[in-house]
Structure 1
Amino acid sequence: MKVVDGQYGTRRPSTTARAAAPPPPRRGPLLVTAAFAALGGSLVPAAAVPALWRIWQFYAMLFGLFAAVELVAVVVVLGWPTRRTARAGALTAAASLALWVAARPLGLLTRFDPWQPADTVAGFTDYVAAALQVVAVFGFLVVARRRARPRPSALRRVSAWIVLFPVLLLVLATGTAATVAAGDGITAPAASPLLDGGTVEYCRPDGIPLEMDITRPRPAAGPAPVALFLHGGGFVTGNRRPAGPGALLAGARLVPLRDALTARGFAVASIDYRLAPAARWPAPLTDARCAVRFLEANAATLHLDPARVTVLGTGTGGTLASLLGVAREAGSTIRAVAALNAPAAFDLAGEDPLTRASILLALGRAPATLRSASPLAYPAAGAPPFLIGQGGRESADFAAHLREAGVPVTTGDGDPAAVADFLAAAAG
């Protein structure tokens, strides 16, 4: 045996060596912020796993595995903060970020885009998850590389918390909102005891199932006319549900319009469509056209009248409805269009910064794309009767454009009863 510090036994670091070793990192604001960013970034795909499971179990298990590993890493780094656990946290966050890069920017997961189920309320939910992972990687790496002070002063600790506390609040808020948005598709809307309805899949573009809620008056008296409702949200947010975060972001106009229409014998079909930036234009218009074809092709099964299909929408949903009227597919039998508070044209010049940013996010800046999304840019001859309510960007010019082409145009304030009366009169 060797003699170490006057004793027999194994070699141990001396007191001087132990004092010279760098102290382990503390649970300071940077570590906590990085941990909560990693937590939010892992909960977003975890919340989308149930919806993903219904499409393809392999992707659901892959997302669940990455989320579970990162959750364990967060618990470990918060419970035992060392440089090694911080590096492990950075590694798991980087792996989750690599999964997003492989699926979304690179498109290497070719069967379908597995992030789409997380983007049914906001089309940028997966981008929020990726941004949180970037914050987590950066924070953990800084913690792992920075030399901690053995005894930082109280002033230094308080100053660090003051500086990073707004960042921590932002991380918590965005992580919570993105998780709620990603998990909104788990629960189904509550059924009404006064109405007869159900949910069907109406289209599956690029392997992504899109759902439609159909509400019928009760009791049903033969095939009913149908109104296809298209929600607003700037092509970026919103969904078909009558309540919840998607309805809040879409403007929550569905329920009064649905009730007014069902009182007049209409069935109401409300759809989800793909959102930007997860899906680029013309994906929303393609999905809306697919919904019209579905209603016409399955009218007998759904107890609908295929000759009395109408369309209404609010906000940019009204823009989609207008496009269905003026840019109709061959053989379309749309009887009337109601567009409420709907932009009729998209032009970046002269817009306020918020509107300009939303247009860029949804449509980009290419003039051809902006024109293709603008009902005002299409010939109006042969279009069905229109109701234009509550204005909207260049809607007055659009109404004049329709009238010049001989299309009957009604204007109003968007009152649900007036809208329902217009559609009922047009459907016959």
Structure 2
Amino acid sequence: MTFHPVPEPRKTLTHANCVVSTPLGYRPLHLDLHVPPGDGPFPVVLWIHGGGWMTGSRVWTVDQRFHERMVARGYAVADVDYRLALEATYPAQQADVEAAVRWLRHHAAALRLDPARFAVLGESAGGQIAAVAALTGTGDTAIQAVILWYAPADLSTVPRQDDPFMFPAILLGGPLAERQAFARHASPLHNVHPAAPPFLLVHGTDDETVPFEEATGFAEALRAQGVRCDVLPVDGAGHVFTGATVEVGTLTEAGADFLDDVLR
């Protein structure tokens, strides 16, 4: 048995275990909110965790000082729950993120948030959810900026299309070979449009789980629609930035620089 470590106290946490959705027949879905001191209103970044749609938690972060860095830069951070693939198939995960966006926007004044400056930061599988939510959101679910860390862009082309037990197949309810239209529907690459928000793609050049070419191809598709898409290669890094020669905190700061530019 492997035991996860005791979590460190989260010094920046201001609102814990906020219930944002109660889907019938499922557990309540929560978010934790970290808000900078002061009157605001502050832009907010929704953190969407990875884990292959099968594992993970809203409290898992790659940069252990992620919240401290973002709050110090003047950004609120919302750590968002979503149902995993063995709890519910897609698009439940997208609905869960949309519910969090709606809840935060509805309570923006009380929470000292700026409803016109909402961003998402999704890592790996969470990046697929974050990207599609941003590309399809309108009105009270609209997103103004997107950061993706090593996220898949096209589920319709992943290997082992006939395997019902690979994680994207479990997410979509069966072998991808039988669900090509649905896989495209769930893929950021096939949802790009000219009104999409600006993107920053941060991706390891040696990623064997989600190849770097996923990021460059997605960037080309966005740019072809006239959408800003910056790409930050992490030289020599694999998935989850393993083997990176830069400290992961510098990538968090690069994301804050991008948000400073596009949300000003």
TM-score scaled to structure 2, two decimals? 0.80
Q: Distance in 1 between matches of 2:122 and 2:263?
A: 17
- Over residues 28-86 of structure 1, what are the superposed CA-to-partner deviations in whole Å (9 max), with x where a residue is unaligned? xxxxxxxxxxxxxxxxxxxxxxxxxxxxxxxxxxxxxxxxxxxxxxxxxxxxxxxxxxx
* 1:423 partnered with 2:236: no
- Over residues 244-287 of structure 1, what are the superposed CA-to-partner deviations in whole Å (9 max), with x where a residue is unaligned? xxx3xxxx325333222111111100011101122111111110
Structure 1 vs Structure 2: percent identity of aligned residues? 36
Return the structure number with greater strand share: 2
- Matched residue of 1:206: which SS? coil
- Matched residue of 1:294: which SS? helix
- Summarize the Cα distance change of 1:285–1:195 in structure 2 as closer, same or farther, 3 Å threshold: closer
Q: Distance in 2 between matches of 1:426 and 1:372?
A: 27
* 1:372 partnered with 2:185: yes
- What corresponds to 1:209 in structure 2? 28
- What corresponds to 2:84 in structure 1? 275
Q: Distance in 2 between matches of 1:379 and 1:348?
A: 17
Greater displacement, 393-402 / 264-273: 393-402
Shift of 1:331: 4.9
> In the alignment, residue 85 of structure 2 is paired with which amino acid?
A
- Native 8 Å contact 1:281 1:369 kept in 2: no
Shift of 1:380: 2.0
Shift of 1:235: 1.1
- Matched residue of 1:334: which SS? coil
- Summarize the Cα distance change of 1:299–1:190 in structure 2 as closer, same or farther, 3 Å threshold: farther
- Summarize the Cα distance change of 1:404–1:221 in structure 2 as closer, same or farther, 3 Å threshold: same
Shift of 1:355: 11
Unpaired runs of 5+ residues, structure 2, are: 205-209, 235-247
Which structure has more RCO (C-alpha within 8 Å, separation ≥ 6)? Answer: 2
- What corresponds to 2:221 in structure 1? 401
- What corresponds to 2:197 in structure 1? 384
Shift of 1:352: 9.7
- What corresponds to 1:199 in structure 2? 17
> In the alignment, residue 39 of structure 2 is paired with which amino acid?
A
Q: Distance in 2 between matches of 1:340 and 1:193?
A: 24
- What corresponds to 2:113 in structure 1? 304
Q: How does 1:1-400 map to 2 (within 5 A)?
A: 173=1, 191-193=9-11, 196-207=14-25, 208-217=27-36, 219-241=37-59, 247=60, 252-253=61-62, 255-347=64-156, 350-351=159-160, 357-363=166-172, 364-365=174-175, 366-390=179-203, 392-393=210-211, 394-400=214-220
Q: Distance in 1 between matches of 2:50 and 2:103?
A: 21
Select the structure of larger CA radius of gyration. Answer: 1
- Over residues 352-408 of structure 1, what are the superposed CA-to-partner deviations in whole Å (9 max), with x where a residue is unaligned? 999972222222222232112211111321011100111545221111000001111
| Aligned positions, number | 236
Q: Distance in 2 between matches of 1:226 and 1:297?
A: 13
- Summarize the Cα distance change of 1:332–1:348 in structure 2 as closer, same or farther, 3 Å threshold: closer
TM-score scaled to structure 1, two decimals? 0.51
Q: Distance in 2 between matches of 1:296 and 1:227?
A: 12
- Matched residue of 2:34: which SS? strand
Root mean square deviation, CA, Å: 2.7
> In the alignment, residue 304 of structure 1 is paired with which amino acid?
L
- Over residues 290-331 of structure 1, what are the superposed CA-to-partner deviations in whole Å (9 max), with x where a residue is unaligned? 111111111012111111111111001111111122222345
- Over residues 186-220 of structure 1, what are the superposed CA-to-partner deviations in whole Å (9 max), with x where a residue is unaligned? x9x66434553433111111153101000112x22
- Over residues 397-420 of structure 1, what are the superposed CA-to-partner deviations in whole Å (9 max), with x where a residue is unaligned? 111000001111111137111011
- Summarize the Cα distance change of 1:199–1:190 in structure 2 as closer, same or farther, 3 Å threshold: farther
Unpaired runs of 5+ residues, structure 1, are: 1-172, 242-246
Q: Distance in 2 between matches of 1:332 and 1:358?
A: 27
